Amino acid sequence: MNRISDQKGMVVWLYGLSGAGKTTISLLLKQMLENDGFFAVCLDGDELRSGINKDLTFTEDDREENIRRAAEIARLMLQNNIITICSFITPLQKHRALAAGIIGESYTEVFIECPLDVCQARDVKGLYKKARTNQITHFTGISSGFEAPANPELIIHTAVESPAESMEKVYQHIAPLLKR
């Protein structure tokens, strides 16, 4: 398979706390898919928030709008047979339901699970420190809620395995869905 027009588009929606590993896994997954001849795009929350969504804050309404716009972009990619890997905290069940509803049947979601204390210890972007000292408000896990899914489609525990192992599990989950 080496023609993009031969591939079936899908949206892989990675959600979880900041620092859980969404971006890391999405980049590894994109690389793996490309090695296998697929065309994949990463849509990252941080990138959207620094560009197309920079008018949005972290209030509940704006978080919902952030997800709505991301899902609409992913839907447009899907219409062009692109595999889109989305990395968004997507803190509430209603946000996940919103994305699923906009995208439709080619939506697959993966809970990137990592305990809050491990995410804080990683503090990849220094944001937890800022949240603890009130330099940032509405920070998920500190001053804003995260609803763990009751019945996740797939859950990846990044505190106990390597990024490559985590990516491989996501890849195995989506591989059967990539066939036309």
- Which of 7, 23, 108, 120 touches ligand ADP by CB under 6 A? 23
Determine if 158 is a binding residue for ligand ADP (CB under 6 A).
yes
> If phi over 0 gives left and psi between -120 and 50 gives alpha, with beta otherwise, what is residue 126?
left
| CB closer to ligand ADP out of 7 and 158 | 158
- Which of 60, 64, 123, 161 touches ligand ADP by CB under 6 A? 161
Q: Where are the alpha helices (DSSP H) in the chain?
A: 22-35, 45-50, 60-79, 93-103, 116-122, 127-132, 163-174
Identify residues 77-116 at the interface with ligand ADP (CB under 6 A).
87
> If phi over 0 gives left and psi between -120 and 50 gives alpha, with beta otherwise, what is residue 60?
alpha
Candidates 9, 11, 12, 45; CA nearest to 111 is 12
Q: Where are the alpha helices (DSSP H) in 51-142?
A: 60-79, 93-103, 116-122, 127-132
- Which of 1, 52, 124, 177 touches ligand ADP by CB under 6 A? 124
- Of 5-13, 14-22, 48-56, 61-69, which part binds ligand ADP (CB under 6 A)? 14-22
- Which of 9, 19, 91, 141 touches ligand ADP by CB under 6 A? 19
Determine if 48 is a binding residue for ligand ADP (CB under 6 A).
no
| CB closer to ligand ADP out of 7 and 49 | 49
β-bridge mates for residue 83, sequence order? 10, 40
CB of 85 to ligand ADP, least distance (A): 11
Candidates 38, 20, 7; CA nearest to 114 is 20
| CB closer to ligand ADP out of 20 and 102 | 20
| CB closer to ligand ADP out of 7 and 15 | 15
Determine if 21 is a binding residue for ligand ADP (CB under 6 A).
yes
Instruction: Compute CA distances 90 → 8, 52, 112, 149, 162, whole Å.
Output: 25, 17, 11, 11, 23
Per CB under 6 A, residues contacting ligand ADP are 16, 18-25, 87, 122, 124, 158, 161-163, 166
